[in-house]
Chain A
């Protein structure tokens, strides 16, 4: 199997779906790039290169550069979706969702239910998330809880190249609006990715590592960090199960509850603030439906309740890092 980066895996998925279905289009800021400029048109392929080469293959009717107008991008995507297209819109950084959230949560997310089941909105919003890129407070957020709490949206957080491709293909073929959250710090991560198209279903967690003493639940870029700490603890004979839910909604509750039933101890690692985030949400789930399994209070490793700081040392401490994850794990393991 070929080794590919997370970035290449996403590009593969887009290209293969565009070849398969003429209704799949890509739109966003600089997804082609260079329009109206003196040099090459279509050579930018997105600020992170995710849509590279698509303009050359599919041309301006399938790869649409838009003005910097996020509301119009999302509205154009949802309007195209309900009338027969399968648009993949790019919001360059998830932080920019503030200027177009109405079109997501009040419009696209609601069409199906609000119109009595008679509208389909098959659209994907691809967006780059996460800190660790020295991007400062307005280019580094994760924000998946904002989307997860909106009925009607599906929320995907791939944690490796294989999942990125399979989940994006599922997202494009899905008839509901899907928020596809790409971790910036994973774009260069390499892994085995099949050349052919394949789908990974939503709502099926990946058991990244099996274990019996402690359960880690982690999302997106936190998965490899959680795995690294699990491997460290394994050297001491501590067996940690690492679960990557892959989608925050739908959520594979069963896999999480089964794991906690086995281990009795849980640490949730999530790159969002402590209140109303996924760590709080998963803790609530286990307290509600897995209370009798618990042998210790649930550990939560999140960002502090602050904007993302710029200075590298502050940002590194802001993110759930291996030291903080390990400390939380040891505290939960020590409880008796």
Chain B
């Protein structure tokens, strides 16, 4: 499907929002404004945005510990996210979840998930609902190359085929599971071959190319919306930073990171759409200014917000002892 100018602007806005948001997360984390730890999505923006671009609020995604980008791509509110990550009142989960557990049911976002391999079985269930209710909607399980080694993932892949549910397994292969290269930890020829061996179609996609990701996702969606069963994407992308914010990354040569950054999906998108005269640089510059202002405001609102009231400590449980 041909993208309109508005579509292209929406894609750029989404990718640039992720970039800006994550750069601020790095900065605010370094300044002690974000408790705990954070895993950022820098470099993988085209993957999340390409996958989520044609999803509605009634399509579901399950995410990973590196989930901020998926949230933004799925339409979660940036202010609510920043409040949540800062552990503040008004966060999307009331400050109960944090970076690795952001969820927004109203957006079909079933949660970032701090357990590697946690989301694929849940996505099978969300897809089962769509099949049983005949909604024509799908459920996407984002996983990394690391999760492709988890037994839960194998179980989910097989179950999705057996139950023939509209689940889409998106493996974002960023080359590293924590601090170990996927070239070491993933046996066999590729992740997508594993998925295919369970009996679903799949393909490898260039994760720095928004258009390639969206088109591949379109094939997965076509199959899912027609209730023909699951699909797998192995999206090859690059993690510009370490496993977590502050990871010194001594295990990666600077040249490798530089090479990854040379294939940055955001300038790549900008070059593609301006060279094809689909958008002007000025259009994109304007989006950037708006996004920068929005994220700046989210940080300011987050900094000014209160911690959750202690009265919420035992809220949203069914019993107190």
Binding site for B on A (CB under 8 A): 25, 61, 64, 66-67, 69-85, 87, 99, 102-103, 106-107, 110-119, 151-152, 154, 176, 203, 249-251
Q: Which of B7-15, B262-270, B311-319 contacts A (4 or more CB under 8 A)?
A: B311-319
What is the chain B residue whose CB lies nearest that of A250?
B319
Q: Which of B104, B115, B123 is the one whose CB lies under 8 Å from A118?
A: B104
**CA–CA, A71 to B151, complex, Å?**
9
Q: A70 contacts which chain B residues (CB < 8 A)?
A: 155
B101 touches A79 (CB 8 A): no
Check A116–B96 contact: CB distance below 8 A.
yes
Report yes or no: B122 in contact with A107, Cβ–Cβ below 8 A: yes
* Chain A neighbourhood of B95, CB < 8 A: 116
Question: How near does chain B come to A37, taking the closest CB pair, in angstroms?
Answer: 15
Residue of A nearest to B109 (CB): A115
In B117-162, the 8 Å CB interface with A consists of 118, 120-130, 132-133, 139, 151-152, 155-156, 158-159, 162
- Tell me which residues across on chain B come within 8 A of A75, comparing CB atoms: 120-125, 152, 155-156
Q: How many angstroms from the CA of A81 to the CA of B130 in the assembled complex?
A: 12
Q: Indicate if the CB atoms of A72 and B156 lie closer than 8 Å.
A: yes
CA distance A77 to B111 in the complex (A): 16
A82 contacts across to B, CB distance below 8 A: 105, 110, 122, 125-126
Q: Let me know if A81 and B125 touch, CB within 8 A.
A: yes
Confirm or deny: B51 has a beta carbon within 8 angstroms of a beta carbon on chain A: no
User: Judging by beta carbons under 8 Å apart, are B125 and A80 in contact?
Assistant: yes
Closest-by-CB residue of A relative to B318 is A176
A-B contacts counted at CB < 8 A amount to 151
The interface residues of chain A lying within 8 Å CB-to-CB of B104 are 118
Interface string of B74-112 (1 = CB under 8 A from A): 000000000000000001111111000101111000110
Distance of A70 Cα from B124 Cα, bound (Å):
13
Is the CB–CB distance between B133 and A72 below 8 Å? no
Collect the chain A residues with CB atoms within 8 Å of residue B118's CB.
Answer: 102-103, 106-107
The contact sample of 6 A-B pairs, CB cut-off 8 A, is A71-B152, A72-B152, A83-B129, A85-B129, A117-B315, A152-B317
The winner among A72, A119, A203 for most chain B CB atoms within 10 A is A72
Residue in B closest to A153 when the chains form the complex, CB atoms = B318
Given the complex of chains A and B, what is the CA–CA distance between A289 and B12 in angstroms?
61
* Chain A: CB-nearest residue to B128: A80
Chain A residue with Cβ nearest B124: A76
Taking residues whose C-beta sits less than 8 angstroms from the other chain, chain B's interface range is 35 or more
Q: Which of A78, A79, A80, A118 contacts B93 (CB 8 A)?
A: A118
Closest to B91 in A: A116
Please name all residues of chain B whose beta carbon is closer than 8 Å to the beta carbon of A113 when the two chains form the complex: 96, 316-317
Q: What separation, in Å, do the CA atoms of A115 and B67 have in the docked complex?
A: 14
Which residue of chain B lies nearest to A249 when distances are taken between CB atoms in the complex?
A: B319
Given A102-B115, A116-B96, the answer on whether A72 and B159 have CB atoms closer than 8 Å is yes
Most central of A69, A70, A75, A80 by chain B CB within 10 Å: A75
The 8 Å CB contact of B121, one of A61, A71, A115, A117, is A71
Complex: A291 Cα to B141 Cα, angstroms: 52
Alpha-carbon distance between A84 and B133 when the two chains are bound, in angstroms: 9
CB-CB under 8 A from B103, the residues of chain A are: 111, 114-115, 118-119
Q: Counting CB contacts under 8 A, is B60 at the interface?
A: yes
Q: Please list the residues of chain B having a beta carbon within 8 angstroms of any beta carbon in chain A.
A: 60, 62, 91-97, 101, 103-106, 110-111, 113, 115, 118, 120-130, 132-133, 139, 151-152, 155-156, 158-159, 162-163, 315-319, 321
- Distance, CA A112 to CA B158, complexed state (A): 28
Look across to chain B and name the residue whose beta carbon is closest to the beta carbon of A68. Answer: B155
B124 adjacent to A72 (CB under 8 Å) = yes
Beta-carbon contact of A85 and B132 below 8 Å: yes
| Cβ contact of A69, chosen from B122, B159, B318, cutoff 8 A | B159
Contacts A72-B156, A75-B122, A103-B152: A115 and B96 contacting too (C-beta < 8 A)?
A: yes
Q: Which of the residues A79, A102, A115, A152 comes within 8 Å of B124, measured between beta carbons?
A: A79
With beta carbons under 8 angstroms apart, the residue of B94, B120, B129 that contacts A117 is B94
Contacts of A103 in B (CB 8 A): 118, 121-122, 152
Q: Which residue of A lies closest to B104 (CB)?
A: A118
Give the residues in chain A near B152, CB-CB below 8 Å: 71-72, 75, 102-103
Contact indicator B132/A25 (Cβ below 8 Å): yes
A76 touches B93 (CB 8 A): no
CB-based nearest B residue for A79: B125
Contacts of A119 in B (CB 8 A): 103, 105, 111
| C-alpha spacing A25/B316, complex, angstroms | 26
Complex: how many Å from CA A260 to CA B26? 57
Q: How far is the CB of B229 from chain A (nearest CB, A)?
A: 15
- Do B115 and A107 touch (CB < 8 A)? yes
A81 to B128, CA, bound (A): 10
A278 to B60, CA, bound (A): 39
B115→A106 contact, CB < 8 A: yes
Rounded to whole angstroms, the CA-CA distance of A303 and B156 in the bound complex is 37
A309 to B92, CA, bound (A): 50
- Nearest CB in chain A: distance from B111 CB, A: 6
CB distance from B139 to the nearest CB of A (A): 7
Shortest Cβ-Cβ A-B pairs, 4 listed: A75-B121, A79-B125, A116-B94, A116-B93
Known: A66-B162, A85-B129. 16 other contacts (CB 8 A): A61-B132, A67-B155, A67-B162, A72-B124, A72-B155, A76-B121, A78-B121, A79-B126, A79-B139, A106-B115, A112-B316, A115-B105, A116-B93, A118-B93, A118-B104, A249-B319
Residue of A77, A82, A117 contacting most chain B CB atoms (<10 Å):
A82
Output the least CB separation between B125 and chain A (Å).
2
Residues of chain A within 8 A of B96, CB atoms compared: 113-116
Residue of B at shortest CB range from A74? Answer: B121
Complexed CA–CA distance, A251 and B319 (Å): 9
Contact B318 A154 (CB under 8 A): yes
Contact of B158 among A69, A77, A80, A87 (CB under 8 A): A69
Contacts of B125 on A, CB cut-off 8 Å? 75-83, 85, 87
Q: How far is the CB of B215 from the nearest CB of chain A, in Å?
A: 27
